[in-house]
A and B are shown apart, each in its own frame.
Chain A
Amino acid sequence: MTNITTWARVKSPWVLHFNSGACNGCDIEVVALLTPKYDVERFGVKLEPSPRHADVLLTTGCVTEQCAERLKRIYEQMPQPKFVVAIGACACAGGVFAGNYSVVGGVDKVIPVNAYIPGCPPRPEAIIDGVVKLLNSLQQPAANKEEVKTDGKQ
């Protein structure tokens, strides 16, 4: 049974995108992933509007004070097992906005993160690489908790 669910998850992960304070740079790259040139649907990745149906949460941007509570709530609404990918320098560690008065910091200050994809913004190829590495890691038992790092070039 576990094998079947893992297979299903790896072959067709449903992702949810949430911007918790990004500049739109990473967001347009995430959307670009869904369009003909990059087309992540070939990996079975589908953008899902509701947190209740999502397996993977793609977060972009630093976490602002106003968004922190909402980000946490969205994470809590997702069914188990769930994975979080932090896309871009801001989501990884706050980026240029770290230390500002209304910024909490990177996404990992609020919710656990499974994969970090650095870059400002990361290239679509780097995001695909990160998501695929995360999916591959799911196939190995007990590897779920390990952090996945990519060499996302800017």
Chain B
Amino acid sequence: MANNDINILKVLEAKNFQIQPGKLGTVAIQAGGGKHRDALKALLEVDEKTAVTAITGIDLGDNIGVYYHVRTSNAFATIQCEVPKDKPTLATITDLVPGAAFHELEVTDLLGVVFVGHPSPGRFVLPDTWPEGVYPLRKDFKPSEIKFNPPSTEDVSLSDDRGLVKIVIGPHHPALLEPEKFAVLVDGETVKNVEPRIGYVHRGVEKAAESKTYLQGVYLVERICGICNSCHATAFVEAVEKILKTEVPPRAKYIRTIILELNRLHSHLLTLGHAGLEIGYETLFQYFWRDREPIMDLTEMVTGNRVISSSLTVGGVRRDIKETDIPKIKATLAALRKKIPFYKQMYENEPSLKMRMQKVGTLSREDALKLCVVGPVARGSGVDIDVRKDEPYEAYGEIPFKEIVYTAGDTWARMNVRMDEVEESINIIEYALDHLPGGAYRVKVPRVVPPGEAVNRVEAPRGELFYYVKSNGTAFPERVKVRTPTFANIPAFLKTAIGENIADVPPNFVSLDPCFSCTDR
């Protein structure tokens, strides 16, 4: 791992980039004046797995900072540049990394930075009625002064000049649990194009986090997503702990790992069942959700709550695991483990499942790398990235577990990655319970955080979850940026749906395990 880190630094030094090792990941690169593209090119040459994790926009007073967070196989770099507020334009990077398209649109929406050469500019997360020229993440923005435009009464055309028919899925649709709109253009039964409109669940969490203390912030970021809430909490508190330079006690690390894996278990079981619902196999859905309930009970036993755990805090966890609970947890997990062979055999051999899932939504390895997808979607296409292995956090560095990779790249492969990860999660929890260190489970931390900034990554059930936190020396953060895994994975659906049958859209879509409350924030 260390070799690769040095490699990057050497390459960047050789090309005369201004670098600061150890800042914002492995290295921060100062690349003002249009040099951000050169820096990105240099990183792309180092490693085939180089991908843009996120683009953070931040109001710095007279300028707007644009930070490109780039991951390679085992290093993490941040390319920093600034643009003046009165003329915020920057050259696009979508020609180098197609997966950066959404990230650029978001920065344009929230901070008004125009990316010259973006292939499809337009409204992204803000409402349709949002007034022009108002950017919520700029510091001079006042929520009370927004004057929303009246809603548009224009009728949406359902056909286009070429005689193709537009099928609008959403915002309210039986197949979607969340409000989101996808306009699918079809020629007969074949999908020709998919136009997404996200932002129906945009609640402005990043802005709200700036007016909450760090402790309140934990509760706020947990409510970005009810499913992977502990992952959000972990990513946030770890970033704050990095700024505070707090060392969390080992017991807290193990307890956090257990909570995170319980989170993954319930999320994967949820999706595996939901996939059954989408292909019309409701029995499978009922089976999986029946077996998910004991995991919810375990979460309640360990954290005190069924869904939103609210168990993590800056400096550790809020509840200890009782010795008397450990046998109960183990018994429940053992019962779930017994059922896995049945489900595995279902996903591997059941003809109706295979017919609906195999060769549907196939994402090649090249496309997966180009689109910067993460988590089970990447691992289903043969890209072996997992933050738990690449940059171990909490107790993952000490716990042995397998990284699951399938190479088929289709819906079936993505679901099987999750199926196998269920078993790995059980192994991890059991190992963590057997090796649970003694001692304190939290340390006291100051309420006021010294000035600083940190980036942090966590492997959520859906993939790499990224946080950037900047503090300004008060009890309130200056900027909290969240990039969620579904945000990175949606381009995979938009790409693979084209050319397939309209009936294959639901299984393909659900195989991303989409979560829009995460995507929109």
Contact = CB atoms under 8 A, between A and B. Distances in A.
A39 to B, nearest CB: 10
B97 to A, nearest CB: 28
B286 A35 contact: yes
Indicate the size class of the contact surface on chain A.
Answer: 35 or more
Interface in B121-151: 126-130, 136, 141, 143, 146, 148, 151
Interface in B335-374: none
A28 B179 CA distance: 14
B208 interface: yes
Interface stretch (B36-44, B220-228, B447-455, B489-497): B220-228
Contact of A96 (B201, B219, B290): B219
Contacts of B207: 100-101
A25 to B, nearest CB: 2
B199 interface: yes
A59 B77 CA distance: 42
Contact of A67 (B200, B208, B220, B223): B200
A107 to B, nearest CB: 13
Given A22-B201, A23-B517, A36 B290 contact: yes
B204 A35 contact: no
A45 to B, nearest CB: 16
Q: Which of A22, A28, A37 has the most CB of B within 10 A?
A: A28
B289 A66 contact: no
Interface string A19-62: 11111111111011001110000000000011100000000011
A62 B286 CA distance: 28
B265 interface: no
Contacts of A95: 223
Given A19-B177, A19-B178, A69 B172 contact: no
Given A23-B226, A61-B201, A31 B289 contact: yes
A28 to B, nearest CB: 6
B234 interface: no
Contact of B307 (A21, A29, A62): A29
B289 A102 contact: no
A97 B208 contact: yes
A62 B200 CA distance: 11
A20 B202 CA distance: 10
Nearest to A24: B226
Q: Which of A23, A62, A67, A74 has the most CB of B within 10 A?
A: A23
B289 to A, nearest CB: 4
B305 interface: yes
A100 B226 contact: no
A102 B127 contact: yes
B437 interface: no
Nearest to A18: B172
A120 interface: yes
Contacts of B515: 24
A31 B517 contact: no
Given A21-B203, A61-B201, A100-B208, A67 B179 contact: yes
Contacts of B305: 154
Given A70-B172, A96-B219, A65 B178 contact: no
A99 interface: yes
B308 interface: yes
Interface of B: 126-130, 136, 141, 143, 146, 148, 151, 171-172, 174, 177-179, 199-205, 207-208, 219-220, 223-227, 229, 270, 285-286, 289-290, 293, 296, 305-308, 515, 517
Instruction: Please give me the 10 A-B residue pairs with the lowest Cβ-Cβ distance, nearest first.
Output: A25-B226, A49-B174, A35-B289, A66-B127, A24-B226, A100-B204, A65-B127, A101-B143, A23-B226, A36-B290
Given A28-B226, A28-B270, 19 more contacts: A21-B179, A23-B308, A24-B177, A24-B225, A24-B517, A25-B307, A26-B226, A27-B178, A31-B289, A35-B285, A35-B286, A66-B127, A67-B171, A70-B179, A96-B219, A97-B223, A101-B143, A102-B127, A120-B308
23 contacts: A22-B517, A23-B226, A24-B177, A24-B226, A25-B227, A31-B289, A32-B293, A35-B286, A35-B290, A36-B286, A62-B203, A64-B127, A64-B203, A65-B130, A67-B201, A70-B200, A95-B223, A100-B204, A101-B136, A101-B141, A101-B204, A121-B306, A121-B308
